[in-house]
Amino acid sequence: MRALALAGLTSVLLFAGCTREPAAPATPGAGAGRTPIVTISADQAVSPVPAWRPPPVEVSQANAKALMSRADAALAAGALYADADSAIPIYYALVQYAPNDARFAAGFERALAMLIVQGDQALSEIDDDPLRLRGAHEAAAVARAVAPENKKVDAYLQRVDRADQAQEANRLGEGELNAGRIGEGDVNGSGKGGALAYFREALSLRPGDVRASQGIAAAESALIRRAEIAADRDDYAGAERWLALAAQVRPKMNTAADAQGRIATQRAARVGRLRDLGLAALTRERGIEQARELLGNLLRIAPAGDPAAVELRERIDLATHYGLFRPGQTFTEAMQSGGRGPALVVIPHGAFRMGAEAEEAGSSDAERPTRNIRFDRGLAVSRTEITVGEFRRFMNATKHRARASRRGYSTAYDERSGNLVRRGNVDWQSDYAGRPAADDMPVVHVSAKDAMAYAAWLSKQTGHHYRLPSEAEFEYMLRAGSVQAYPWGEGAPLTRVDNLTGALDASPTGRRWNNAFAGYGDNAWGPTPVGRYRANAFGLHDVAGNVSEWVGDCWHDSYRRAPRNGEAWVNPGCRTRVLRGGSWASSPAQTRSAWRQGSDADTTSARIGFRVVRDI
């Protein structure tokens, strides 16, 4: 098949053998402002071929032989019918003069055969030169005039008629194509109507018809163009429909598949761009709504399950609940004075049931009524209790005077009596027994006010809001998904989970606990360096044990009228604050997840420390 430019297709106007009615008018607006897909050039149109009449040739007995010689010479020269000196008019006159003369009849047959050869040659050349159809029509007009009953002539006339019908079908197909009526609902050509049906009809009439083949290719291109226009409008579902139709036009060609690849690349670029814009929006203040709008646009155009859509949705969800962080992420923040703050872990947002049911052993009315608490946003929590070294930086950088230092004493452990006793010259720099504490130990002998002052200092140093956790937050992080009495389940822990009071533990002089978890030991007496035991499900260490911790709430005898959103319940000027979590010296009942206790905000003890949270 010859590779001709589609834009150069021409429509040939034929009159001979045409019985088809003109195409119906285009749908209003269908062709308005449309650049024609194919063009009709007036100088290539075939004008009507008039009926041919043999020019008169006078034959007599005297000139018959000479005329025969002239006819043979004209035939040899290929001069068949132009004038009275051409072969066919002379042979035709001779046959009419002497019908039974075999020589005249044979010459006439030779001339007629050459005429048909020339006509067929013209038919074979119309793919390259549509105007050659006129030559075929001229030969047909001559043959029809001199030998209408000849079988070879009849066969040739049928070939010309099929060529006429094919050209007429092509003309109508091109008109439909220019009007935008591709016949996309009937791409296989099984019915009537539309450009494709006409072009396929032309091919059935004249197999290999280049004009029809090019028309089909143009129809395929038109469908692909519709797909491209749909894609440019972000209508990729529509683009897929047009491409599916285009793929049926010439199924053995890769044209539609190539277009599909181009549109898929365009779609992926568009999806990627929307994802990038959405991710960029999330870095700006109040950018979540903009990112959600971009996600909506992305979901409208992206294939189902597209990774870019999944990523942006996840990032929006993360930003909604965690800002620029991710659950489980560990980070530290730079401080203005140099160095970095305590290591923080981002715990997930979620919900839990706070407090103890009435049947829980060791519980009290202070832990009721139980209530459902939901946190719609994650929280960054110091991975361990604040250490002596971390608190020392605060004390060295500020003029804060810790409560135990001002008062001159604190409550420390006495090995001789096995009790916690008041001891002088004990403060935040001391360990549980009043000795100098290592920097990796949890800071103890600090009051609730000392802990809040440290959090306020961190806020100024980092530019972010640090505070003590609320009661609800502490119980949520302590349970870490557990719904039973203890964070690890029911009864004594089966493995070494934290620094708790275990029946197998012993003091330096061999003392044992009177009230401890049976069969449990953690090889510790007094607080241990932070992070020695494994983290809980949220990545936090020492929440269930080591030291009890100050939280941000004022003490209330129950949860009646407590905030439903999990915020700290604070009354201005309150003197009694809440302690949470078990310690190295807590009874099993005081290690339960719901356990809580009120204590004077100025209390300092070898059992009490704290950790901080940062809003995200």
What does the pLDDT average to over 552-572?
96
Q: Do the Cβ atoms of 333 and 393 come closer than 8 Å?
A: no
Q: What is the pLDDT of residue 22?
A: 36
Rounded to 5 degrees, what are φ and ψ at 131?
Answer: -70, -10
DSSP state of 324: T
Q: What is the pLDDT of residue 539?
A: 98
Residue 295 has pLDDT above 60, yes or no: yes
Q: Is 46 or 443 the better-scoring residue by pLDDT?
A: 443
The secondary structure of the chain in percent helix, strand, coil, rounded to multiples of 5, reads 40, 10, 50
Structure tokens at 501: 């009071």
Strand duo 371-375 + 548-554: pairing: unpaired
What does the pLDDT average to over 253-280?
95
Strand duo 576-580 + 548-554: pairing: antiparallel
What does the pLDDT average to over 255-272?
96
* Res. 46 pLDDT band, cuts 50 70 90: low
- Count the Cβ atoms, other than its own, within 10 Å of residue 253: 14
C-alpha Rg value of the chain to the nearest Å: 50
What is the pTM assigned to this prediction?
0.65
Return d(Cα 86, Cα 82) in angstroms, integer.
6
Q: What is the pLDDT of residue 192?
A: 57
> In three state form, how does the secondary structure of 255-275 look?
HHHHHHHHHHHHHHHHHHHHH
* Environment class of 412 (CB within 10 Å of its CB; exposed 0-12, middle 13-18, buried 19+): buried
Tens digits of residue pLDDT in 359-389: 999 999 999 999 999 999 999 999 999 999 9
What does the pLDDT average to over 321-331?
92
Return d(Cα 178, Cα 37) in angstroms, integer.
5
Return d(Cα 422, Cα 431) in angstroms, integer.
14
Residue 616 DSSP SS3:
coil
Q: Do the Cβ atoms of 206 and 212 come closer than 8 Å?
A: yes
- Count the Cβ atoms, other than its own, within 10 Å of residue 128: 10
Cis peptide before 369 (omega within 30 of 0): yes
Structure tokens at 426: 């004990």
Q: Closest Cα to residue 362, out of 593, 207, 147?
A: 593
Q: What is the pLDDT of residue 302?
A: 93
Structure tokens at 87: 């072969």
Residue 31 has pLDDT above 80, yes or no: no
- Integer CA distances (angstroms), 108 to 138, 210, 243, in order: 18, 35, 58
Rounded to 5 degrees, what are φ and ψ at 536?
Answer: -80, -170
Residue 453 DSSP SS3:
helix
23 contacts: CB under 8 Å, gap ≥ 6? 172, 175, 176, 179, 181
Looking at every residue in the chain, the average pLDDT score rounds to: 91
Structure tokens at 368: 């009721």
The packing angle between helices 307-322 and 288-301, to 10°, is: 160
Tens digits of residue pLDDT in 450-503: 999 999 999 999 999 999 999 999 999 999 999 999 999 999 999 999 999 999
* Environment class of 565 (CB within 10 Å of its CB; exposed 0-12, middle 13-18, buried 19+): exposed
523 contacts: CB under 8 Å, gap ≥ 6? 496, 505
Q: What is the pLDDT of residue 45?
A: 55
Q: Which of 21-25, 321-325, 335-339 has the highest mean pLDDT?
A: 335-339
Tens digits of residue pLDDT in 391-427: 999 999 999 999 999 999 999 999 999 999 999 999 9
Q: Do the Cβ atoms of 607 and 583 come closer than 8 Å?
A: yes
- Integer CA distances (angstroms), 528 to 366, 443, 466, 523, 606, in order: 30, 11, 25, 10, 12
Return d(Cα 68, Cα 65) in angstroms, integer.
5
Q: Closest Cα to residue 580, out of 537, 609, 551, 607?
A: 551
Return d(Cα 192, Cα 197) in angstroms, integer.
6
What does the pLDDT average to over 517-536?
97
- Integer CA distances (angstroms), 380 to 54, 100, 335, in order: 107, 118, 17
What does the pLDDT average to over 331-346?
96
Tens digits of residue pLDDT in 98-132: 999 999 999 999 999 999 999 999 999 999 999 99
Q: What is the pLDDT of residue 12?
A: 31
Q: Do the Cβ atoms of 385 and 610 come closer than 8 Å?
A: yes
C-alpha 251 chain-centroid distance: 29
Residue 33 has pLDDT above 80, yes or no: no
The proportion of the chain whose per-residue pLDDT surpasses 90, expressed as a percent, equals 88
